[in-house]
Every structure is written in structure tokens, then in C-alpha cells.
Amino acid sequence: MEIGISILDICDDTKLQELNKLDYKYLHLDIMDGQFVKNTTPPFSLIKQKVDIINKKIDIHLMVQDVFKYIDEYSILKPDNITFHIEVKQDINKLIDKIHSLGISVGLSIKPNTDINTLIPYINKIDLVLIMSVEPGLGGQKFLTNTSNKLKQLIDLKNKYQANFKIEIDGGINPDNIKYIKDTDIIVVGSYITKSSDYKNSLDKIKEAIYDSNYK
């Protein structure tokens, strides 16, 4: 299980530098437009300043209506992944093709109340599925334990269609609930780490929980 850390709550460069020294794989960027979700992300220029401080692979989660616009803007950061929501009112296939044409892996994200079967037309075209374990757009929410059911459904679909995407889960993750999602490829941790007084200690507790979940 790989770890991504969502850093948009952090504004202090010293804190970002502290986070950069830790051992995790992905810098996870939640990009919000105030339309698809209520919150908005700071301007691109400020996001880029944060990215320049943290030397990790970039995993972008677009919670936006106009996905095409944000692909063009955020592809400049040369991310490993760009994930957008299946619930957007745009041509999903064209969006997938656009991101792939830039040499970037494509993810589809799904809200807690969206039927997992809506992914079926696309699961052999994408590289990642992001299951939201909270309603998107607001940090610090409580993890939805029924996410484990959605994860199982997605794994069943993956096996049925012989698909090859990674599974990522984001929202309210902490050491107590990792046991519910132990078959996940990537977890995104936000507030549990970024609002703690000791980033390394909090990350170590996440890693311990991942290790323990492998033997239960």
C-alpha cells in the first residue's frame, strides 16, 4: 500500500520542507473550483510554489466542472496521475484520451453515493480509480466505514473485466480505519498528518497500521 499526503492545508514553507523530508510516495493535490464542490483551491501560482518545495510524485485530484480547462493548466506540473470525477457533465472518453495524450496516467473518482457500476464503460481505459470515503470538497470529515463494501465491489469488477487499474481511497483516513481498506493500492492521508504537531510520528503510525493490517 502506497501513501499520498494531501498538503493544501499547509501554508508555511517550513512545514512543507519538513513534510518533504518524510518517506511517502505521492504529493496529493485536491483541486476545487467552487462549482463541483463548494470550496475553492488557491490560484495555480500558489499551488506551484508548494509543489516546488516538495520533491514527490504528483497525484492530482480534480474536483471541478470544466475538467478540460484544468488539465491544460495542471499538466504543466508533470504529474504522474490526473484524476477527475465520473459525475462531471463532460465527455468522459474525450477527457481520458486528452490526459493520456499528454503522457499522464488517468484516474476516475467516484463519490460515496454513486453506483460503482457507472465505472464499467471506462475501466479498461483508465489507470486508477479513486474511491471517496467522504463527500468530496471538505477536509477533516469522518471516514465512511461502508467504503469497505464499495472497495469489495470495485475489486470484483476489476477481476470480472480483467482490468489493470490501481485503487486509491481518500477521505478521513487514520490508523484506526486502515483495517477496513487493506486491499487498497494507494491511500491519501490529509488532516491526520497535516494538522498534527509531529508529521513524522503521525506518518509512522499510518505505516504501522498498514503493516498490522497485512496480518489480520
Which residues are annotated as catalytic? 30, 170
Measured CA to CA, the distance from residue 43 to residue 74 in angstroms comes to: 11
Supply the DSSP string of 164-207, one letter for each residue.
--EEEEESS--TTTGGGGTT-SEEEE-HHHHTSS-HHHHHHHHH
Measured CA to CA, the distance from residue 54 to residue 41 in angstroms comes to: 18
Scanning the structure block, which residue is given the C-alpha cell 510554489?
49
Answer for the pair 54, 6: CB distance below 8 angstroms, yes or no. no
Instruction: Output the CA torsion sign for 32, 35, 36, 38.
Output: positive
CA dihedral 194, 78, 127, 88 (to 10 degrees): 80
